[in-house]
Structure 1
Amino acid sequence: MEALETFIVESPVPEEGAAYRSIISDVISELVLGGAIGRIKVVIRPEDSLFQMAIILRGSQPTVKVSDIGSVEAGNLAKKEVKISLTEEKYLPELLELLWARYGRAKVFQPERRTLIMNAEDTSAEIEFLKEMIVADPKQTLLSRLVEMAIRSTPEGFRVRYHSMKENHFIFVASEDTLKPEWIEEGHKILAEILEEK
């Protein structure tokens, strides 16, 4: 796991804090999040059945468009074809799902591994649309992995949860009981604390 700039786990019982730090480290490693997380602070208050986590990410990746992974151009003009030639295959499954949803499975042809052909009435407009079509959003994938990491790190039975992600900041609050608004505010204060650290 890549070293984190800040990794704090606070608990009234020091041994409990150390145990949770170990659990969280293992989960971060399992989900390969070490490179994404810069700072993390966790506060555990067993007397309130409360678990709070604030994370600052190192940075986020931009969305991936079709034009980022290949070229989109006119194919056979007589057949009104639009052709995608991929330079990167990594996102091919996601791209195929999107194309099947737009055109239907039977209308997406793949004559070669890196070539996809579809028919369109207005090929010019379709080419422009496809160039800008988002194939993958790494931020959404990262958010789902952060939520999974937080849930796996939370004590058993803490099923009432709140999470928020804005820009490169992630907050997670969980409890066995109904969440109090002040607990969520505390989560935001924990985030502010680690934001201020130099």
Structure 2
Amino acid sequence: MEKLFIESEDKHAVEAYRQIVDYVLNDMSVKSLDAIHIYADPTALFFSCRVDFERSGTPLKIRDLSTERVGEEDVDLVIGEERYLADMLRKLWDVYGQDRVEQSERQHIIVKGVSNDADVEKLLDVMVVDPLEDFYEQLITLAVDIIPVGFRVRRVEYAGDSVLVIASEKTIEKEWIDYSKEKLQWNS
């Protein structure tokens, strides 16, 4: 990876982390990474890593994936993108409950008890797919795979287009968090 920055007093640790990161990246095929910053001091009791990325993909709402037909007491959603049907059903069940949401036909979902304009707008604004949420999970998995074995206590922070992971064998102390944020130029 071109934008891999590793800070360590131990030159062997730098090369080892470079190999680990290359291996993990090849295995995961994570896209849209901008840079990875690692602070690894073999004498310290903690490890820290900042992963920067470029946002890609746009969130999809029900209004983006369907056409609505508003009835007197319900809304019939005609699904245009069938591949998101399962995700859409799950989200609607979470928001409205399974008793108010039914799939009447293959590409039709009926939501009962929604008829006035405000309720319909709320329904159409339900987020079905958020690529950033999935991407954060990938970045955390990436960072966890880089963390030294045995460092099971972890702290994860998100800010804009970055994820910060601090790990240790012990309870993470405030000084370590502050030091990591300073070393890795973390702006939260």
Q: What is the TM-score with the length of structure 2 in the denominator?
A: 0.83
Aligned length: 187
Contact 1:60 / 1:168 at 8 angstroms: preserved in 2? no
2:134 alignment partner AA: T
**Residue matched to 2:156:** 163
Flag structure 2 segments of 5+ consecutive residues without an equivalent: none
SS in structure 2 of the partner of residue 16 of structure 1: helix
- Tell me the distance in 2 between the aligned counterparts of 1:123 and 1:48: 60
**Residue matched to 1:21:** 18
Deviation at 1:166, TM superposition (A): 0.7
Which of residues 42, 65, 72 in structure 1 aligns to 2:68?
72
Flag structure 1 segments of 5+ consecutive residues without an equivalent: none
1:18 alignment partner AA: E
- 100-109 or 142-151, which deviates more: 100-109
Q: What is the TM-score with the length of structure 1 in the denominator?
A: 0.80
SS in structure 1 of the partner of residue 83 of structure 2: coil
Which of residues 32, 44, 51 in structure 2 aligns to 1:48?
44
- 132-141 or 156-165, which deviates more: 132-141
Cα deviations by residue, 1:104-160 (Å, 9 ceiling, x for unpaired):
435433233322122225353432111111123222222222222211211111122
CA RMSD of aligned residues (A): 2.5
C-alpha spacing 1:179/1:81, structure 2 compared with 1 (3 Å): closer
- Tell me the distance in 1 between the aligned counterparts of 2:60 and 2:82: 12
